[in-house]
Every structure is written in structure tokens, then in C-alpha cells.
């Protein structure tokens, strides 16, 4: 601590008297926009320099934010945390649970937006049923039914040009919500039906909730003074989710096990928290994975080859079937590296600390900008390239083995020759990047889409199973292509595409 630099010397935007730095987000001028926090992070990265840190101080209703742009520093902060790590405060959610609906939550505030002893006490009641590997493995058959129903729905909603509708992201929200209902509540919610009024209302609330979060949790807390439109939407959605969980709790699913041991109230509160964090995140991850594979024919073909060789088509899938699909898992990891659904994770430090060489006072919120680290050359060579092979241990980047002989002498079918040459180039480039990645290695704290430690995403294994099943079903049945420009993204607060997801899906020829 004695050798550390003064906290006030850490670079960052200068706060104004009285207004602090909140005015920047209030005005919404680049790079200070709540829906474009990726641009904000790159700006702070430039200010911090290699291995450095930057801060955004004096935000209304929030502690100072400190951003260490270094995987080694991320590891040190994570590993020094105590048994009850504190995450970022979500003022509006805390207000809802502790004040507005205190009569319902009482001494059981749940996992989201809660810290310290109340969080630890609640987690001890639910962690065994959620964190155990066998829990997610047992849920695979139920999730397989949902994935199969969704792929059949894709066939119903595709147009005459085999293009999916503009609101396909909303369809992915339905799939994610239906999946959470299947494994958590042990019931089908009906979100994949065309005429289910309750399902439509749930989806409406989902959209309203997640679009109101940035305004309420990232901007100045005007809702504390009067009920803004975003605040009313937020509360209406939370009330609807709470009512849904109360009505749909069954004697099946993970929450049923918790209800039997700790009571229906604990199970209902957990189900509510799972809806809050398990719908938009999984849907966004699926959207990015499909988009990146649709834009990479080499990776898509390799995935389809793995699926053709290992995926049974005459029965419901099990966890053992998923274990035989390492390239599928690598495709998901690579998608979450390039487009993580949450741009960063964080901890509110409970004692003074030295971070990136600076004194940082107790109570500051340390934000680990995983989006930046996982897209930096020093950690991932050619970071903009979608190369799932990065995540495979062995040298399995297959050499191109297509009909390359006599290509230069063949006088006909020039388009085919060009495609063959392109394929060889793609394979050679993928192998080159794999070799460079192997030399660098993968820092375990450079890409953490699910967080780390005791406050890691508690539904991680279930989310991974959902994604594996959906992508396996889609790419085993279809060739997927993308015929538009590059997707742009916004923070809502999940990192989601702006443009319509109009993928073209073409049935593969059955062997």
C-alpha cells in the first residue's frame, strides 16, 4: 500500500461539482451512453493503457467504478475476496424486494441484488439443487423436448424464401423462457404456442423489464423522486413474474426439490431470480452463436460433421450425448468470447486495496471488463476471428482435404475452383490462429462469461445445456446463412443485436 499511487491520480473522466459524472450518461453523448457501454469501455481502455486501470467517479446513487484492464489483476481481485463476496448494487431491484414488496420477501430476499449474510443464507438453501453437475444432467431430456419444439416452430414461421422473421430474437426469448420453466418449475409455460395469451403477456413483460433496466439502474435514479414510466413498467413486470412463479410451481423441476426442503416461498423467490437472469442472457448467447456460425462456413461444416457422427436422431437426447460434442462446446465458448452477454462482472471491495498499482478505497466497485479482455490481441490472437478450435486442447484443426488436385489446370467451373481455394485458405488461417493461440495459451480470467467464484452464475450448467441442445438441433437439421451486413449491438443491459435476425435456413440433404 505504501508504494501504491494515489487513487486521485487514476485516469478517468473528470467529475463536475454537484453533477459528478452522471451528467455524461444523462446527456447520452458518445462515448457515454448506457446502451453503448461497449464503446465506453474501449474509451476507458485507451485511457488506462496496457495493464492499467481507469475509474468513473461520482455517479449518483452508485459507488465509484474502477476498471482494471488486465486479466492478472482480475485474478488477484477475485482470489482475495472473502466467503461473502459483494456484487454491484441494483438499487431498483433492492427497493422492490426490501421496500415495495417487503411483505412478500421479508427475510428471504433471494440471490439477485442481495449481499452479505442474507445472500449467503439464501444461497445455502438452494445451491445444492442448482450447482451439482447431476442436476443439469438430469434436466437434459426435458430441455431436449423444448429445443425440438422450437426447431419445429422455426419451420412454421419461416417465409417462402426460407428466411426467419424479423422478430426472431423475440422467438429466442420464448425458447429461453420455456426452457427455464421446464427445468426450474417443472412445467411447460406455453411460450412456443401461437395462441397462448398468458405466454404473450409473459413475453411482453420480459421485454418491458429488460428495456427499463438500463434507465433505472445505470442512469440517475429519478425514480426515487417520482414513478417514471420505466419504473412502472419494471414493477409491473416483476409483479407478473412473481405471480407466474407462484401459480406454476409444481412437484417437478429443481424448484420442487427446494420447496420440499425449504418451503414454497424460497422456491418461488428462486424461480423469480432465475427468470430475471436466465432468459435474456441465454437468448442473447444463442443469437450471437447462430450469427457467428452462419457467417463462418468452415466452422459450421465442421460442427455439422461432428453432429452427423455423434447425434442420435431416433430418441430423446441425454447428457452423455452432449459429452460427445466437444466442437459444439467450443463453438459456444468462442461465441461468448467475442460477444459476451454481459460486458463485465464486478465486486464491491470490502476493504482498501491496491489495484493496478493504485490505492482504491473500501466500497469502490471493481468492474472486470471481460468484453475488452476477451477481444484483445494479447490474450486472443486475431480476436475478431471466430475460431472455435482455440478452445480445443489437441491439434485438431483439420487440414483441407477437399478435391484440390488439378484445380489450377481445370478449365471449367471457375466458381467451384474459387470456393475450393477459399476453403483451403480458411483452413490454413484457422490452423495458423490455433497455433498462435497455443503459444500464448488461454488466460483463465480473460474470458469469464459466467463470472467466477461463489457468485458465479448459479444456473451456468443449465444455460450451457440449453445452448448445446438448441444449436445441435438447428445445425444438424439446417444449413444457416446470413445475407445482410454486420450486426451491431446495444446494452439493454444484456449485449444484444440491434438488427433483425433474418437468418436463412435451408434443410440439409438427408444421407
pLDDT of residue 86: 76
Q: 1 falls in which pLDDT band (50, 70, 90)?
A: low
Contact 448, 333 (CB under 8 A): no
Contact 279, 204 (CB under 8 A): no
Q: Region 144-164: what's the mean pLDDT? A: 96
Least confident of 19-33, 45-59, 80-94, 199-213: 80-94
The arithmetic mean of pLDDT across residues 30-42, rounded, is 91
The count of residues in the chain is 511
Q: What is the pLDDT of residue 416?
A: 57
- What are φ and ψ of residue 242, in 5° steps? -65, -40
Percent of the chain whose pLDDT exceeds 70: 92
345-348 and 365-368 beta bridge pairing: antiparallel
Per domain, the residue ranges of the chain are 7-89+346-373, 91-243+253-335+449-507, 388-440
Over the Cα atoms of the chain, what is R_g? 24
Residue with grid cell 438448441, as numbered in its chain: 470
For residue 16, the SS3 value is strand
pLDDT at 147 over 60: yes
DSSP symbol at 98: I
Concatenated DSSP letters of 121-141: HHHHHHHHHHHSHHHHHHHHH
Mean pLDDT of 43-51: 91
Mean pLDDT of 307-317: 93
pLDDT (tens digit per residue) in 220-240:
678 888 889 999 999 998 998
pLDDT above 90 covers a percentage of the chain that reads 54
Q: What average pLDDT score do residues 149-171 get?
A: 95
pLDDT for the residue numbered 401: 43
Contacts of 447 (CB under 8 A, 6+ apart): 333, 336, 337, 340, 370, 373, 374, 379, 380
91 — pLDDT class (breaks 50, 70, 90): confident
User: Based on the number of CB atoms within 10 Å of its own CB, is 146 exposed (0-12), middle (13-18) or buried (19 or more)?
Assistant: buried
Q: Measured between alpha carbons, how far is residue 218 from residues 98, 117, 228 in Å?
A: 20, 26, 15
Q: How far apart, in whole angstroms, are the C-alpha atoms of residue 218 and residue 492?
A: 10
The CATH superfamily holding the domain 91-243+253-335+449-507 is Cytochrome P450 (1.10.630.10)
For 384-413, write each residue's pLDDT tens digit. 999 999 999 875 555 434 433 333 333 444
Mean pLDDT for 260-268 is: 91
How many C-beta atoms lie closer than 10 Å to residue 267's C-beta?
A: 27
pLDDT surpasses 70 at 89: no
DSSP-derived pairing of the beta strands 53-56 and 65-68: antiparallel
pLDDT given for residue 433 in this prediction:
93
Cα–Cα distances (Å) from 106 to 85, 115, 273, 380, in that order, read 22, 15, 15, 46
Contacts of 102 (CB under 8 A, 6+ apart): none
**Contact between 77 and 355 (Cβ < 8 Å):** yes
Give the integer Cα–Cα distance in Å for 426 and 420. 10
Q: Supply the pLDDT for residue 393.
A: 82
Cβ distance 446 to 373 under 8 Å? Answer: yes
DSSP β-ladder status, 65-68 and 365-368: parallel
Q: What is the mean pLDDT of residues 351-363?
A: 91
Q: How far apart are CA 145 and CA 445, in angstroms?
A: 35
* pTM higher than 0.95: no
| Average of per-residue pLDDT values in the chain | 87
Amino acid at each position: 500500500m505504501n508504494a501504491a499511487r494515489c487513487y486521485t491520480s487514476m485516469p478517468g473522466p473528470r467529475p463536475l461539482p454537484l453533477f459528478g459524472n452522471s451528467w455524461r450518461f444523462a446527456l447520452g453523448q458518445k462515448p457515454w451512453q448506457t446502451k453503448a457501454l461497449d464503446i465506453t469501455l474501449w474509451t476507458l481502455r485507451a485511457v488506462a493503457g496496457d495493464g492499467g486501470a481507469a475509474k468513473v467517479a461520482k455517479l449518483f446513487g452508485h459507488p465509484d467504478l474502477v476498471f482494471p484492464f488486465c486479466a492478472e489483476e482480475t485474478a488477484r481481485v477475485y482470489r482475495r475476496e472473502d466467503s461473502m463476496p459483494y456484487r454491484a448494487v441494483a438499487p431498483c431491484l433492492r427497493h422492490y424486494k426490501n421496500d415495495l414488496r417487503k411483505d412478500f420477501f421479508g427475510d428471504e430476499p433471494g440471490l439477485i441484488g442481495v449481499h452479505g449474510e442474507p445472500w449467503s443464507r439464501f444461497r445455502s438453501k438452494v445451491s445444492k439443487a442448482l450447482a451439482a453437475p447431476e442436476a443439469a444432467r438430469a434436466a437434459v431430456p426435458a430441455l431436449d423436448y423444448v429445443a425440438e419444439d422450437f426447431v419445429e416452430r422455426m419451420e412454421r414461421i419461416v417465409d417462402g424464401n426460407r428466411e426467419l422473421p424479423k422478430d426472431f430474437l423475440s422467438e429466442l426469448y420464448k425458447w429461453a423462457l420455456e426452457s427455464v420453466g421446464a427445468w426450474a418449475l417443472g412445467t411447460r409455460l406455453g411460450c412456443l404456442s401461437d395462441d397462448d395469451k398468458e405466454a404473450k403477456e409473459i413475453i411482453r413483460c420480459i421485454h418491458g423489464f429488460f428495456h427499463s433496466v438500463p434507465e433505472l439502474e445505470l442512469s440517475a435514479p429519478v425514480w426515487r423522486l417520482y414513478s417514471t414510466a420505466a419504473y412502472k413498467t419494471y414493477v409491473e413486470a416483476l409483479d407478473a413474474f412473481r405471480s407466474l412463479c407462484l401459480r406454476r410451481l409444481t412437484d417437478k423441476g429443481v424448484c420442487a426439490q427446494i420447496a420440499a426442503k425449504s418451503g414454497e416461498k424460497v422456491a418461488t423467490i428462486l424461480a423469480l431470480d432465475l427468470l430475471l437472469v436466465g432468459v435474456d442472457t441465454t437468448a442473447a448467447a444463442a443469437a450471437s452463436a447462430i450469427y457467428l456460425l452462419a457467417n463462418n462456413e468452415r466452422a459450421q461444416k465442421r460442427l455439422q460433421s461432428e453432429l452427423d457422427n455423434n447425434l442420435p436422431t431416433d430418441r430423446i437426447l441425454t447428457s452423455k450425448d452432449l459429452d460427445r460434442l466437444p466442437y459444439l462446446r467450443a463453438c459456444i465458448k468462442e461465441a461468448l468470447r467475442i460477444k459476451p452477454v454481459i460486458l463485465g462482472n464486478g465486486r464491491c471491495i470490502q476493504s482498501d486495496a491496491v489495484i493496478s498499482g493504485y490505492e482504491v478505497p473500501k466500497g469502490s466497485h471493481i468492474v472486470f471488463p471481460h468484453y475488452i479482455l476477451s477481444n484483445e490481441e494479447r490474450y486472443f490472437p486475431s480476436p475478431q476471428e471466430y475460431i472455435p478450435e482455440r478452445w480445443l486442447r489437441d491439434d485438431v484443426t483439420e487440414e483441407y482435404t477437399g478435391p484440390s488436385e488439378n484445380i489450377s489446370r481445370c478449365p471449367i467451373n471457375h466458381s467451384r475452383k474459387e470456393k475450393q481455394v477459399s476453403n483451403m485458405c480458411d483452413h490454413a488461417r484457422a490452423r495458423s490462429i490455433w497455433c498462435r493461440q497455443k503459444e500464448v495459451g488461454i488466460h483463465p480470467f480473460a474470458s469469464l462469461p459466467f463470472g467466477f467464484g461463489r457468485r458465479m452464475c448459479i444456473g451456468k450448467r443449465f444455460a450451457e445445456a440449453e445452448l448445446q441442445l438448441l444449436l445441435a438441433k438447428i445445425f444438424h437439421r439446417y444449413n444457416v446463412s446470413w445475407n445482410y451486413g454486420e450486426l451491431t449491438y446495444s446494452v439493454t443491459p444484456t449485449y444484444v443485436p440491434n438488427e433483425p435476425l433474418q437468418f436463412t435456413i435451408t434443410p440439409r440433404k438427408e444421407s
